[in-house]
Structure 1
Amino acid sequence: MMRECTDLFLRYREVARLIWNLGFWPNPDLREWEAANLYQEVAARMFEGMVLLPVGCENRLKDRYDLGSGTDFRVEITAPGAKLLVNKNPPDFPAKHWGSPKIYATPGKQQLRFKRFFDWNRLGPIDLALLEVEIERCDENPALVGHDGLVEFWKCAIWLVADEEEPA
């Protein structure tokens, strides 16, 4: 069974941006990694309350840096030609190098799993306009399976894939 959750993600994104941009970033003393890590804890708890709880998936968040951990959220490309910036490094390599390759995704030609919202500068003002995804299927380039990618949120829909026995 699948349930569309795009609106829940949109509201979460707006609140998460607001808390960092108006609550943390204006204070120069909070523009450092300790504060960014504290913000990430707050953001993860908000994700649990604003996204996971309403879809019946509470207590499933396993990693505050991978909000999609423990729950199967699929990212569906809805706009033809959406850019998918792929991490060229192997999936188990800690550093990420985005955009190599860059593919233009076609709706229905890939299967993407939501990992987290992404922003280029964690210590500056954030927009969270990108989704970091794991590529589970890519018809255009099967060698990319297992790699992470970035895609613009506004060119996607997000769906929860739930087992038949689970409430959704």
Structure 2
Amino acid sequence: MGSGKLELKNTNAMIVGGIFGLKVAEVSFMPKWRLHNKIASEVGIPEDLATKVNCIIDIEGIHDGREIPKVLLNDARKSYEIGGYDGLRAFFLHHILDRFAQKLLGEAYREVWDKTPRSEKYILKTTLNDANDWINSLKGFEHIGKAKEALGEVTAYIEREYKKVMASIVSEFGDEKI
């Protein structure tokens, strides 16, 4: 990820660090919908549809249920219902952006604990591996072919633009007040 320098301070028994302009605390941050929508727009997904899919994933049911196959399947179905192919693209993009954020925060934590951070390519590769695993969780999805195609299109964009996407996430987190 480069050669960012980590700064630490201890506040109220909570370790706070910063790396590459990203501040880290014992809390979890996910990209705001404005960032999800901005990147969705760059991919060609209408903003109103991206907002509806964000709502399905972040508000309805279990928040970010990508780790629970039944929830992931249900959210994929709802996303397809409201937006067809573009709904699936928004669905996968949302989860990939959230996973990037988790992994970037994880790397900042690695430096907090004096472990060598992994490279941007590692974060990209493992995020895309996770995304491909999500397809396996969609067993029984009536539109699995379209889901695979939508995921392929989104991952191709992410592979092409990952530096810009990561920078956008880090920039957004750098604006957070902890």
With normalisation by structure 1, the TM-score equals: 0.30
**Structure holding more strand per residue:** 1
**Structure holding more helix per residue:** 2
